[in-house]
Structure 1
């Protein structure tokens, strides 16, 4: 629908009829029946728009008239409307992925306001085939807009035909013969490596036997939280190793003449290769009184299964399952950031999703690739961010207790500009798996880009400690946090890892480091390489940084420090924020 002069004109009767029908279907869905506050919010803003009163859709009006807040409600101190709007956007996205995938009309709420937009059905075109778009519910003369509207639809249809191969990427979002993700349970099956934990005979000493049991419980608890990377099984004592085991983790503790001897070994079932081993011998009393023992066990367990850990390192060299191989390819892309690795990983994950739409790890890692497409400016369709969010929400729907799914949702929300919701999702991810360095680093990077480096740096340094085989972007955000804090010595320590790194963020760090040292030649060389590697940076450095989610203050600081814009080099003060409680 065309723009109107005052933005308050009513849509025509036919459009209003279709919109109310679409609203009714949304409100009747399982998702919205269980969320009366979201239903009230959506009904209110849609009806006000159809009445030609969209200018009234402000935070105060929605809070008081739709959400039941008192007349003295203060939108400046109470963020309820903004929070609920974020929830409503995600609920609508989820509805059109699942129950409403064939709905002929789509309702959305563009970020930055509360006025809904409507994608009206095209005669003769199914919901599964058409390309989602946004048509604001603003009325005008039907005669005046009909020709432009028809041409726009024809152009969209032509783009749809030409881009069909791209749109088949997300079957649950764009239709086809795939199953709806809500119709399937979370599928692991043979798709992920299985680790069998075998525990030796219990020591005769009761205190030591109790310690062994607690240690095993911690091992299993930590490893099981990485549910996108491995399946953990603990057969009963004396039972045979499960037939589907790919790896065997053997743990044993013995008492001998006042000492406790501990042994740990991880081997492959296929050929018996030992890929990790550890042992120690300490006085019994010292072991029993060691207050840090469980923390060290958690670190060892995480090191075995984390995204860049020991099992994944072995799996990259020796394919365990096709699905795991695809996930490792997606993780490897984070290390090397090459177009070839990106294409290989994406095609591989597409095949896995087509084969099993209910396999949540593939959806989560596909979302990660799509979000990186958007952040890097590589997205040629302009749809990577919305498709990444859709894939992330599908992963979360399939595995609501997964830290990885929640982490991917946090990344998507952050890149959409929903920073408070992203921070909350990041914290939730870390609470689900507080041992995952990827989640620590993602949340830490979110804080750094929000200009809260003092909160981000502890998380990033903890991630570095947990993950020796990490991708370079961990080090970049740790470097940037120290850089923004003015901690020169600390930033030099983190920069040492990035000094020769050819990735875009590595080149950005090299340019910043050279600028700080007044090395114009090195700065220019790094910026030239970065512009060649990422054309968006060469065309518009500010857009490059903003697409990655950097706040306006951080973006300005970096551009000034790099000499790309005029201005004084401000001593950017980190924005105050409440403690995360996650350090």
Structure 2
């Protein structure tokens, strides 16, 4: 039986470990998970033998209304499951002896120290494997690891050494860099609040409202562009905070001629203005929400969505660290403007100095390491790209960008099967992010994988106006299949003013016009591409395409097509 001193010591240890967790990047980016963790820890301290039930977690921990129905709504179970995964990923990266854990099937938080929990239960000092942990290869085994799964004890030993080396990196002199960097300049993604109806609706409307809210909470929680926030007071009502870098998302059921409709709106709290609204037909079943409402969620909170576009519009010139750097990085990744290269490289370096544990910045650094010599003036560094991707994965196992960083490493090393595995995990983690779908489809296209078209079409469905990478690859994919006419009909529907067009529109149009014997129009598109994105020096057409298209197979296919049709002259090809 615990004495009062034991209970006091246990409470101190629980709160100390909680505060450490809440200072980590993943929890800072997730106010909902932070609030839930605080609630469960305080319950573990005040009621150690009486853990909260699902209803208490929903109402007291997550701010649901008093009429919450645990029989029809799995919200608390889903959110606690997400918290359990975040804890597992955090400790997998650090290997600390003391750790918080939430046993499967319970809402009780336990403090594990070594092999024994603070509650006196025997536990494993190794984190429970929920499928969250990455097998780390030794550096010399890069190509073999990318091609095959570890299968021997000898390789397992190398895996262990790799993990030890990473932990040394995370806890050594890089922490001195962190302490000297100006971490106060580190910008986090804006918050998004979901306003719940202040007056409980009756009957089916109430159930539909809850289903809509749960869908968008899950959708926004999967976005890298926002931090899902909780209502400011219990019961779900929202109190505005003047000048906060945040957005308020509202939904309201309204009557329609053929059935119920939903009116959505998004308000910028910083600008105190409505920046987006839409009215759509309410899908018949929640099972239809991902297909019917997923594009709307992506329109709001994707990399080129309403919120990130608004953030770019108001981004200060000197904002360079954290989320601000990611905004600049995505601009460069899409447009490949040479003037942005040094800015992005500098802001990534500054961001890693301020927070070397940010998996999204590490993923961006991995991308930059793979850029071709035509873009940077230096040779690609696959070794550095892989190391950045591996660190990103260890620190952000549930981060789509980290998973895709490892997918990219595999694709670049010619392992399409391994690349597809990580890319599909990224798609699962960010189901409404058109860019992830588009990149997955583009790389699979380069691998001649028949699933490429599925992802490319999904990217276009999620963002018909902004998936230029997907549209380009889909046009070329149709051309590869000999569907020249279909490719042309699709290409002519592309809106050239789309967000993030960059050079891809002209590349697609030059190729599709050439394939349909419309060489004059193909030549116009090619000349415009050279004028806007070509360098003043003697850069050949092949070098230009390799600089603009990071997928080498895709770049080669476009070059061959345009050369064979005469759009690229012999002189341009020989430069």
| TM bracket (short chain) | 0.5 to 0.7
SS in 2 for 1:196: strand
C-alpha distance in 2 between matches for 1:365 and 1:274? 32
Cα distance in 2 between the residues matched to 1:478 and 1:425: 21
CA contact (8 A) 1:411 1:442 kept: no
Distance 1:299 1:37, change over 3 A: closer
Question: SS of the residue aligned with 1:382?
Answer: coil
Tell me which residue corresponds to 1:266. Answer: 266
Contact 1:192 1:229 in 2 (8 A): yes
The answer as to whether partners of 1:266 and 1:277 remain within 8 angstroms in 2 is yes
Q: Structure 1 residue aligned with 2:394, among 369, 393, 397?
A: 397
SS at match of 1:251: strand
CA shift, 1:288, in A, is 6.0
User: Does residue 303 of the first structure (1) align with residue 299 of the second (2)?
Assistant: yes
Partner of 2:451: 455
Of residues 423, 428, 436, the one that matches 2:433 is: 436
Q: Contact 1:327 / 1:362 at 8 angstroms: preserved in 2?
A: yes
CA contact (8 A) 1:203 1:254 kept: no
In 2, Cα distance between equivalents of 1:487 and 1:468: 21
Question: Hey, what does 2:235 align to over in structure 1?
Answer: 237
- Which whole-Å CA distance do the structure 2 matches of 1:234 and 1:356 have between them? 25
Deviations, residues 72-91 of structure 1 (Å, cap 9, x unaligned):
xxxxxxx9973339998995
The 1-side partners of 2:257 and 2:549 are apart by 63
CA drift of 1:172 comes to 9.7
Matches within 5 A, 1:366-405: 366-371=365-370, 373-374=371-372, 377-405=374-402
Please report how far the alpha carbon of residue 365 of structure 1 lies from its aligned counterpart in structure 2 after TM superposition.
2.7
Q: CA deviation at 1:446?
A: 1.2
Residue 540 of structure 1 deviates from its aligned partner by: 5.6
How far 1:436 sits from its partner (Å)?
A: 1.5
Aligned-partner Cα distance in 1 for 2:410–2:272: 44
Q: Structure 1 residue 98 and structure 2 residue 184: aligned?
A: no
Count of matched residue positions in the alignment of Structure 1 and Structure 2: 420
Cα gap change, 1:507 to 1:91, in 2 (>3 Å): farther
The C-alpha deviation readout for 1:499-524, integer Å capped at 9, x for no partner, is 89995554543443354244666667
Residue 150 of structure 2 is aligned with which of 84, 89, 102?
84
Q: How does 1:245-256 map to 2 (within 5 A)?
A: 246-253=246-253
Residue 108 of structure 2 is matched in structure 1 by none
**What is the deviation of 1:218?**
0.3
Residue 66 of structure 1 corresponds to which residue in structure 2? Answer: none
| Cα distance in 2 between the residues matched to 1:438 and 1:448 | 15
By how many angstroms is 1:555 displaced? 7.5
Q: Residues 413 and 179 from structure 1, CA distance in 2 versus in 1: closer, same or farther, beyond 3 angstroms?
A: farther
CA distance in structure 1 between the partners assigned to 2:491 and 2:258 by the alignment: 47
Contact 2:366 2:386 in 1 (8 A): yes
Whole-Å separation in 1 of the counterparts to 2:149 and 2:485: 40
Q: CA separation in 2, counterparts of 1:175 and 1:192? A: 24
Task: Find the partner of 2:540 among 531, 538, 541.
Answer: 538
**Given that residues 456 and 473 in structure 2 are in contact (C-alpha distance below 8 angstroms), is that contact kept between their aligned partners in structure 1?**
yes
Deviations 1:19-38 (A, max 9, x none): xxxxxxxxxx979x999998
Q: After TM superposition, give the deviation of residue 313 of structure 1 in Å.
A: 1.2
Counterpart of 1:347 in structure 2 is 346
Q: State how far apart, in whole Å, the 2-side matches of 1:290 and 1:406 are.
A: 28
| SS state at 1:266 partner | strand
Q: CA deviation at 1:219?
A: 0.4
Corresponding residue SS for 2:417: helix
Is 1:512 aligned to 2:511, yes or no? Answer: yes
Q: How much does 1:443 deviate?
A: 1.0
Structure 1 residues 26-80: Cα deviation after superposition (integer angstroms, max 9, x where no partner): xxx979x9999989x979x99xxxxxxxxxxx99xxxxxxxxxxxxxxxxxxx99
| Deviation, structure 1 residue 265 | 1.7
CA distance in structure 1 between the aligned counterparts of 2:259 and 2:444, rounded to whole angstroms: 46
The 5-angstrom pairing of residues 498-577 of structure 1 reads: 503=502, 505-518=504-517, 530=530, 533=534, 538=540, 544=546, 548-551=550-553, 558=558, 560-563=560-563
Change (3 A) 1:550 1:299: same
For 1:173 and 1:339, the matched residues in 2 are separated by 35
Deviation at 1:377, TM superposition (A): 3.1
Separation in structure 1 between the aligned mates of residue 146 and residue 406 of structure 2, nearest angstrom:
20
Q: Where in structure 2 are the equivalents of 1:282-361 lying within 5 Å?
A: 292-293=288-289, 295-319=291-315, 323-361=322-360
The answer to whether the 8 A contact 1:511-1:522 is kept is: yes
Distance across 2 between alignment mates of 1:314 and 1:564: 43
Q: State the distance in 1 between where 2:257 and 2:561 align.
A: 64
Question: By how many angstroms is 1:480 displaced?
Answer: 1.0
Matched residue SS, 2:304: coil
**TM-score under structure 1 length normalisation:** 0.59
After alignment, is 387-396 or 297-306 more displaced?
387-396
Asked if the contact 2:197/2:237 (under 8 Å) is kept, the reply is no
Deviation (angstroms), 1:221: 0.1
Q: Flag the 1:177–1:85 CA change in 2: closer, same or farther, 3 A.
A: farther
> Alpha-carbon deviation of 1:478?
1.4
CA distance in 2: counterparts of 1:89 and 1:565, whole angstroms? 54
- CA gap 1:92/1:560 in 2 versus in 1, 3 angstroms: farther
**Shift of the alpha carbon at 1:355?**
1.6
Distance 1:407 1:392 in 2: 8
1:196 matched to 2:193? The reply is yes
Quickly say closer, same or farther: Cα 1:240–1:190, change in 2 above 3 A. Answer: farther
1:219-251 superposed Cα distances (whole Å, 9 cap, x missing partner):
01011101x211001324255447556111123
Classify 1:540/1:462 alpha carbon distance in 2 versus 1 (closer, same or farther; 3 Å).
closer
